Chains A and B, each alone.
Chain A
Amino acid sequence: MTFWLVQIFNGLSFAMLLFLLAAGLSITYGLMGILNLAHGSYYLLGAYLGLTVIKNTNSFLLAILCAIAAVVVLGIVMQRFFLRRFYKNELAQVLLTFGFLFMIGDASLWMWGGNPQVLPKPSVFEGSYRFGSIVVPSYRVFVIGLGLLVALGLWLFQGKTAVGAVIRAGVDDEEMTRGLGINTPLLFTVVFGVGAALAALAGVIGGPFVGVYPGADIEILLLGLVVVIIGGVGSLKGAFVGSLLIGLLDNFAKALFPEFTLFTMFGAMALVLLLRPAGLFGRK
């Protein structure tokens, strides 16, 4: 029993990390048809920048803020000066964002070296909680809480605010939304920036338990893609459910049959595709 509870708990914290990543990936594709393979680079860069800031200032909060600010600027530059020119041209987007993935990955290797690194936890969350026989690190509780908070915030934003309504309209029919006089280019940039910010946040808060290393960008990107495919492109709910599914599955697979973690994950995705080609919550 204890084993299962601990695994569920670890799976949940990883799932929240995946959600931060997949939410941006899913909405940018759903809204503006941009498949951004450099999304994993935002995570990588967020983690490395966070590491540098923590080392210099010892402040986890400052690390989060700096990482987000820098990555958002990068994301907006990419979107406004490059991706925007290749609207609905998926092949160009793939090659372009893949190019950025390589360049950012290699530049990071140059700056931060090839050794895997772990971000220090904020000192407030050094301890752990005890529930009977179960010990859970308080940092994981923080990650789960933060993830749920962001999910709730995004859900309220998309479901209850005017801007959210515009985004939903944009996902459904971008051309019609533009026809109604809504400034979609600005909206695109804002949403893209939010997606980049969430990925950078994921990088910093994932740093203490996932770590950061060369190749983490592609690894995390693939996980994000699997989540998006399972959940359905453009759906926040899909990204959330998909993240829970993959986060838990990944943890149980690692604990039960470590030889086949990658297989179970991509296998689950293949299964969903077979039964529901548009994903669990996707529309076609």
Chain B
Amino acid sequence: MRLPAIAAALGLPVVLALLPLALSNYHVDLVTQMMIYAIFAMSLDILLGYTGLPSLGHAASFGISAYTVGLVSLKVTSVFWLVLVAALGASVALSALLGLLAIRSRGVYFLMITLALAQLLWGIAFQWRSLAGGDDGLPGIHRPNLGIPVSFADAVNFYYLVLVFFVLVVGVLSVFVRSPFGIALKGIRESETRMMSLGYNVWFYKYLAFVIAGAVAGVAGMFAAYHIGYVSPADLGILLSAKVMLMVILGGAGTLIGPALGAGIIVFLENVVSGQTERWPFILGAIYVSVVLFAPQGILGTFKSKLRRSADR
């Protein structure tokens, strides 16, 4: 790692930890939401940016975890660690299953298959009224109970809980993408045939990346459910899958910080703009189009190539 990267790695958690001192509860809540979606976007980046697998059904792993939080905490137990195990277990199990169906396809087929499989789950959630509440979803999810005398109904306390997991995810994923496994994933992204002829079991690497990305998305889904206290079929749907893809591309695929930044920007805009106008979907659509036209490498990618160009001069 270069010096600026190390400084950022140490500085970012400190800045985030100090933020609540300066912000109102509303803004603390907003940053909490940004961190949750940043975790989600980074998990998709493992697939999209590092492995070259464009999943358009990534909301499946997010939503199944959110639904598990809803079902377990409403009907079984409110103990956080048990809910966590159940939610992440559900995400991992689902990704392991979907991966079996999706991984052998590539390119646009992979895109359509992941989309269709996620929609299958959306359909179940939407129509299975007795279990999943159907269209209404599951309201009334309480903030987690960690068995310590701290109430996470408080915005600032919940912020710190999410922050701990956010820093954990960033740390683990940074090590992961630099590990031999992560580098092999990049190799697969660049040339599958070359990796195959080098003796790598490409299918297995992709499959494992799919499951890992699903597990991390599960972390995001879990906190999203706790955060707004409500799960609905939209948490599994195509709109969310496309939105997280936009976050990744906007920030810059293949860099962990980029997607986190992209998530922050989209969540921020969504909150600010939809307070001002009803036409947020139109503006969001325009953002999709603008990103493709003007910043296809994402913010970080564009920034990097600018730096490189000025260094060459």
Contact with B along A79-110 (1 / 0, CB 8 A): 00010001000111011101111111111011
Q: Can you list 9 residue pairs at the A/B interface with Cβ under 8 Å? A: A29-B108, A90-B111, A95-B291, A99-B285, A229-B113, A259-B127, A259-B128, A266-B116, A270-B116
Residues of A within 8 A of B (CB): 29, 33, 35, 82, 86, 90-92, 94-96, 98-107, 109-110, 218, 222, 225-226, 228-229, 233, 259-263, 265-267, 269-270, 273-274, 277-278
Q: Does B23 contact A (CB under 8 A)?
A: no
Least Cβ–Cβ distance between A15 and chain B, in angstroms: 19
Given contacts A262-B126, A263-B124, A270-B101, contact A225 B112 (CB under 8 A): yes
Q: Do the beta carbons of A96 and B108 come within 8 Å of each other?
A: no
Report chain B residues within 8 Å CB of A91: 48, 54, 245, 249
Q: How far is the CA of A277 from the CA of B105 in the complex (A)?
A: 7
Residues of B within 8 A of A (CB): 48, 54, 56, 101, 104-105, 107-109, 111-113, 115-117, 119-120, 122-124, 126-129, 238-239, 242, 245-246, 249, 279, 281-282, 284-289, 291-293, 296
Least Cβ–Cβ distance between A116 and chain B, in angstroms: 15
Q: Do the beta carbons of A262 and B127 come within 8 Å of each other?
A: yes
Q: Do the beta carbons of A96 and B284 come within 8 Å of each other?
A: no
Contact of A99 among B112, B124, B286 (CB under 8 A): B286
Taking each of B105, B123, B287, B296, which has the highest tally of chain A beta carbons within 10 Å of its own beta carbon? B123
Q: Do the beta carbons of A222 and B113 come within 8 Å of each other?
A: no
Q: Do the beta carbons of A222 and B54 come within 8 Å of each other?
A: no
Q: How far is the CA of A81 from the CA of B246 in the complex (A)?
A: 21
Q: How far is the CA of A35 from the CA of B122 in the complex (A)?
A: 22
Report chain A residues within 8 Å CB of B245: 91, 94-95
Given contacts A90-B54, A96-B289, contact A266 B119 (CB under 8 A): yes
Least Cβ–Cβ distance between B105 and chain A, in angstroms: 6
Q: Do the beta carbons of B116 and A98 come within 8 Å of each other?
A: no
Q: Do the beta carbons of A273 and B285 come within 8 Å of each other?
A: no
Q: How far is the CA of A274 from the CA of B249 in the complex (A)?
A: 30
Q: Do the beta carbons of A96 and B292 come within 8 Å of each other?
A: yes
Q: How far is the CA of A130 from the CA of B161 in the complex (A)?
A: 68
Contact of B120 among A218, A259, A266 (CB under 8 A): A266
Given contacts A95-B292, A103-B285, A262-B127, contact A269 B116 (CB under 8 A): yes
Q: Do the beta carbons of B54 and A94 come within 8 Å of each other?
A: yes
Q: Do the beta carbons of A102 and B101 come within 8 Å of each other?
A: no
Q: How far is the CA of A270 from the CA of B57 in the complex (A)?
A: 14
Least Cβ–Cβ distance between A83 and chain B, in angstroms: 10
Least Cβ–Cβ distance between A103 and chain B, in angstroms: 4
Q: Do the beta carbons of A270 and B119 come within 8 Å of each other?
A: no
What are the 4 tightest A-B residue pairs by CB atom distance, in nearest-first order? A262-B123, A99-B288, A102-B285, A266-B120
Contact of A265 among B109, B123, B249, B285 (CB under 8 A): B123
Chain A's closest residue to B134 (CB) is: A259
Contact of B123 among A96, A102, A263, A277 (CB under 8 A): A263
Q: Do the beta carbons of A95 and B246 come within 8 Å of each other?
A: yes
Q: Do the beta carbons of A99 and B111 come within 8 Å of each other?
A: no
